[in-house]
A and B are shown apart, each in its own frame.
Chain A
Amino acid sequence: MTASLKPRLDRAHVLDLLRGMIRIRRFEDRCAELYTQEKIRGFLHLYDGEEAIAMGVIPVLGPGDRVVATYREHGHALARGVAMGPVMAEMYGKAEGCSGGRGGSMHLFDAGTNFYGGNAIVGGGLPLAGGLALADRLRGEANVTACFFGEGAVAEGEFHETMNLAALWRLPVLFVCENNGYAMGSALARTEAEVDVIDKAQGYLVEAERVDGMDVVAVEAAARRAVARIRETGAPMLLECMTYRFRAHSMFDAQLYRDKAEVEEWRKKGPIVRFQGWAMAAGLVHENDVARIEAEIAAEIDAAVGFAEAGTWEPVERLADHVLGPQPAPPEPAAPSGRTVEITYREAVKQAIRDAMIRDDRVFLMGEDVGAYGGCYAVTKGLMVEFGEDRIRDTPLSESGFTGAGIGAAAAGLRPIVELMTVNFSLLALDQILNTAATLRHMSGGQFGVPLVIRMATGAGRQLAAQHSHSLEGWYAHIPGLKVLAPATVEDARGMLWTALQDPDPVLIFENVMLYNRTGMLDEGAGPVDITRAAVRREGRDVTLVTYGGSLWKVLEAAEALAADGIEAEVIDLRVLRPLDDATILASVGKTRRVVVVDEGWRTGALAAEVMARVTEQGFWSLDAPPARVCSEEVPIPYAAHLEQAAIPQADKVVAGVRGLMGR
C-alpha cells in the first residue's frame, strides 16, 4: 500500500474518521448496557476514550498487514473491518461469533482481515507479533504487523524480549503503546522507575515517537510515517499514544484510584468531541451529517444485536472441536532398504533437521546457541554453514520471546522448529506454549493454527543438578491443544520430526539427554514415522512395563534380568505422551494382567499416574495385581552422581517393582 505521508483531510476522510470513532463508542455503549442485562458476561473492557488510536492506525494498514491486539480490542476489530454482527455475536458467545463463541470479548479473531486476536495475557501478544513479522521478513513480503498493548505491558519481560528481537532481526512491527495512564488501577509511576516508554524502546534501538492519542489526525499522521518507514527499512517502530480511558478498567471496577475531576478533565479533551468540534468549525462536517451518522450507526448496532440474538448456541456435542486441527494421515512406513548403519541418536536428530530443511523451505530452526555454537548438545553442528543464519537462527536468551516468535511464524504459515535448551528453561516460555500455542486455535474458533515444533532436552544423568535435569514432559502432556512426543530410539529420533512438522498443531519433542550418545542401527532408507501409536519393544506374557524416553533402555535391561528368572516382561514404549495410545497399553495389560509404569517424572502426579488411572478405569477386570510405578524420588535432582542415580528410575528398581507385584 502506498500511503501518502500526511492525512488528507478532505470531507470524505474526515467523515470516515468521525464515523469510525462514533461507531466504536456507540457499539461499546450498547455492550455496557447488554452487560448489565447479562447478555454479555465475563470481563468487558471498554475502549471509551481511546478510539482515536485504532481509527488513526488501523485504516492506514493494507489488507496484507496483520493486527495483534489486547483484551480491550473491540475498537481494533471494528476498525479493521471485522463485521459488527459477528463481533456482537461473539460477545454473546454465539456460534455465529467471529471466534465461534469460544473467545468472547477478550478474544475476537478474524482470519479474513488478518486479525490475530485479542490477547488477554498482558504482554503476551508482543512475541506473537514478532513472529508474524518474522514470517514476512523470511518470505520477503513487505507486510507490517501492528501490535497494540497498554503501557502496563512494558513492565513484562515479553515486551523487553520482543523489543530486542525486533530490533536485532529487523522485524517489521509497528508497536502501538496505548498509554492511558493506568494499568487496571496502577498509574505507571506506581509500578515503574523509568516511566518513559519511548526511552525504553530506544534503549533497544527501536525508533519511537510519542503522539497525542486523543487526536485522531495526529495519530494517523504518525502511523502513516511509521508504516511507510517500516515498509522501507523493515525495521520496527514504536508509537506511544497518550490517551485516557473514560470508563472503568472493566465493568467491575469501583475506580478507587482516580478522581472524578480527573476523568471530567479528560472527557473534555475526548477524541470525538475534539475532532467533531474541529471538523464542524472547519465547515467539513455539519450538524445533519452527525445526525445521519448517528442514525446509521444506531441502525447498524440494532442489526448487530438482532444478529447476535438470533444466533445459535453451539451444540455441546461440539465442545471438543477446535482443540486440534484436522488430523493428517500417518505417514506410510518407508520400505526397508536392507542396508542399516550404526548411528547416534544425536546424528539421527540432526539428519531429521537437515532432511526437513531440504524438503521444505518453510522450515527453519531457532534457539539459543543452535548456530555458531553448534547446539548445546551439538545436534545442529555445521547446519548454520549449510543453511545460513536465517534458517539456523541463533536467538537471544529470551525463551518466551523466541518461542512466541515461533508461534507467530507458524501462524503465518511457516514451519518453525524452536529448540529450547532444556525443559527447565522451557518454563520461561510456558506462557507462550500454554496460553498462546495451545489455545490459539481454540480461542479463534479454529481460524488460526500453530504448526510449530518445539524440541528440548529433558532428564537427568549428566550431573547437571537441579536446574538442568528435570523431566517435566508429563506437565506438558496435561495440556489440551498440544502433542507431546518422546523419541527413545534412533528410528524415532530420525522419523518423528518430519511427521511433527506436518501436524497442524504445536508438537513438543522431548529428547532425553542420556540418549544423544547412544547408538542404534538405522535403515538407510528410514523416513517419517507415525506419531500416534505406542510401540511394543519387547513381547512378554507376565507383566507389562510401560515407559518412554530415556527410561526405555533401563526397562529393557530390567526385562532381560527378569527373563533370567523366568518372568517374561512385555515392554511398551509410549513414544507419544499426548494423546496417550490407550489401546496398545490395554491390549498388553489384558494379556499380562500386570503393569508397572516407569517414568522419570516425580512420582506425585507424574504421567505414570495417568497411565495407571487409565489401566484401572478401562482394564480393572483384567488385572491380577494393583498397577505399580517406578518414578523419580521426590527430590530436586542432586549433583552428586550416586545421589542423582538414586533419584531416578533404574533397572534394579524396576526388577524389584515387578517382583513385588508378583510376590517373587
Chain B
Amino acid sequence: MPSLGADMEAGRLVEWLVKPGDTVSRGDVVAVVETQKGAIEIEIFEAGTVRELTAALGDELPVGAPLAVVVAEGEAAAAPPEPAPEASAAPRPAPEPVVTPVPPPAPPAAPAPTPSDAAPAPTLPAAPAPAPPDAAPAPTPAQPAGGLRASPAARALAEARGVDLSALKGSGPGGAILYADVEHAAAGTPARKPAPMAEMRKAIAAAMARSKRTIPHFYMTQTIDVELVMTALEARNAEAPPEGRILLGALLVRAAVRAARAVPEMNGHYLDDRGFVPAEAVNVGVAIALRGGGLVAPALMDAGAMTLAGIMAGMRDLVTRARAGRLKASEMTEGTITVSALGETGAEAMAGVIFPPQVGLVGLGAPQLRPWVVDGAVVPRRVVTLTLSADHRVSDGRTAARFVAAFAEQVQTPEEP
C-alpha cells in the first residue's frame, strides 16, 4: 500500500487492474485504492510478472502492507514461496534513522524515606533521611496552610528569613501579606539560622556531650513479659475507633510515670549548686523523632494524674505539635524523667543518654517474640527490654533496681477499666 499523502495511514483496495500472470512495467497503473480523498490509481515502480495478488478487494490496508508479488524477469523459477517484501507493489522502507536519541530510562526513584512516625522514638535521631533525588524541582517557599493571602514575594522572603507568615498581619489589599510586611517582621528577629536541622543537631550534640561529660551514667536492664498486656491491648483496640486505640508506647510511658512516682529519686533535676531536687509532679519527657531527622523530648506535664487514655491523647498531641513546631517552652524545659522507646518494631534494647538536668532515662526496645518460661514450661512470649540509665550522683543500684521492679510491675498490671 503506497503512501499517497502525508496524512494517509491506510487505504482500501477497491480494484485490481492486473491479475496473476500479467506482465507489468514500471509506471503501469495496477490497482485503485480508496482514500479519504476518493479513489486513487496506484502505479507500480517495478517491471515483471504478477505472481500473486496478496491483498483482497475491500481490504483496508495500512501504508506499507504488501498488495501483490511481482517477479522480475528471470526470477520466476527461484521465487520464494513467501511474498518477498521487495517484490510488493509498494515496499515499506526500512525504518528511518532515529533523529533524536532515545533517552536512557530514568533511574528508579529513590525509595521514599520511611520515618518512624508511629509514636515515641529513639533518643538519638536515626541517620538523616536520604536526600531527595536530584531531579526534584528547586525548593519553593512553603505554602502556609489555610488559604493565607501572602504575595509570592512575601512567601519567598518569609522562607528565606524563617518568618512565620501566619503570625503576620498583612498590609496589602484584602489583608494580603506583602514583601514589606515580612521584611518588617524579620527586622525584629535575628537573621534566620541558615538551616534549622543543622541548628537542632548542634543543640543535641551540646546537650548529649554535656550529659556524658558531667553525668556518671550507670545502667540496669530487665526484660519483661508483655504478652498478656499486649493481647489485652489488641483486643481492646480491635473494638475501638482509630483515634481511641492505645499503643504499647502509652502503656510503657504510664509504667514509667508510676515507677517514677514510686521511686522519687529518679524524678527530678540535678542542679550544680543544689544537688538533686526531686520534682513534685511527674512531667514525663517523650522522645519524638522529627520528619527529616532531629529529635525533641517534650514533657507530658503532670502525667501522674493522667489515665492511660489521657496519656495516649497527650502523646498524640505532643507528636503533632512537635512536628508542627508548636511546642511550649515549659514542655521543653520542665521534664523530670524521659522515656525513649523504639516503637513497635526494631532493636531489642536501647541504653540512652540522660537529658540534663534530669537524672534518669527509661530506654525501651521494641517488643520481641522470645522463648519464655511460664509456669515451668517454655512458651513463645512477646517481651520488652527496659534499660534504665541513671545518674550515679543521685542514685545507686538499689534505687535503680526499685525503679526497674516498679516499672515491670506496672507494665504487667492490667489496665483500669
Interface residues, chain A, CB within 8 Å of chain B? 29, 32-33, 35-39, 41-43, 248, 250-256, 313, 316, 593, 620-625, 660-663
Contact = CB atoms under 8 A, between A and B. Distances in A.
A624 B8 CA distance: 53
B154 interface: yes
Interface of B: 2-8, 27, 35, 37-40, 42-43, 45, 63-64, 90-93, 96-97, 99-100, 140-141, 151-156, 172-174, 176, 178-180
Given A29-B27, A42-B6, A252-B35, A621 B93 contact: no
Given A37-B3, A623-B151, A252 B178 contact: no
Nearest to A39: B93
A251 B37 CA distance: 11
Given A623-B153, A624-B172, A41 B178 contact: no
Given A252-B37, A662-B173, A621 B141 contact: yes
A254 B35 contact: yes
A654 B109 CA distance: 50
A254 B38 contact: yes
Contact of B173 (A35, A254, A623, A663): A663
Contact of A36 (B3, B99, B179): B3
Nearest to B36: A252
Contacts of B174: 663
A37 B5 CA distance: 11
Nearest to A252: B5
Instruction: With a 10 A CB-CB cut-off, give which of B3, B27, B179 has the most chain A CB atoms.
Output: B3
A593 to B, nearest CB: 5
Nearest to A589: B153
Contacts of A33: 45
A662 B178 CA distance: 10
A624 B4 contact: no
> Chain B at the A interface: mostly helix, strand, loop or mixed?
loop
A41 B172 contact: no
Contacts of A621: 140-141, 152-153, 155-156
Nearest to A662: B173
Contact of A313 (B91, B92, B97, B152): B97
A37 B91 contact: yes
Nearest to A664: B173
Contacts of A36: 2-4, 42, 45, 90
B178 A624 contact: yes
A255 B42 CA distance: 12
Nearest to A37: B93
Contacts of B92: 37-38
Contact of A251 (B4, B96, B155): B4
Contact of A624 (B38, B99, B140, B151): B151
Contacts of A39: 93
Given A316-B100, A662-B172, 12 more contacts: A36-B2, A38-B64, A42-B6, A250-B5, A251-B4, A253-B40, A254-B39, A255-B40, A256-B38, A316-B99, A623-B152, A624-B178
A35 B99 contact: no
B8 A252 contact: yes
Given A252-B37, A621-B141, A38 B93 contact: yes
B211 to A, nearest CB: 43
A312 B152 CA distance: 47
Contacts of B140: 621
Nearest to A92: B96
A488 to B, nearest CB: 29
18 contacts: A33-B45, A36-B45, A37-B3, A37-B90, A37-B92, A38-B63, A39-B93, A252-B5, A252-B40, A254-B37, A254-B40, A313-B99, A622-B152, A624-B172, A661-B173, A662-B173, A663-B172, A663-B173
Nearest to B32: A254
B6 to A, nearest CB: 5
Given A33-B45, A39-B93, A625 B151 contact: yes
A33 B45 CA distance: 7
Contacts of A41: 6
Q: Which of A37, A250, A622, A625 has the most CB of B within 10 A?
A: A37
Contacts of B45: 33, 36
Contacts of B8: 252
A624 B179 contact: yes
A662 B151 CA distance: 12
Contacts of A316: 99-100
Contacts of B179: 593, 624
B152 A251 contact: no
Given A37-B92, A316-B100, A620 B152 contact: yes
Contacts of B152: 620-624
Given A37-B92, A39-B93, A625-B172, A252 B153 contact: no
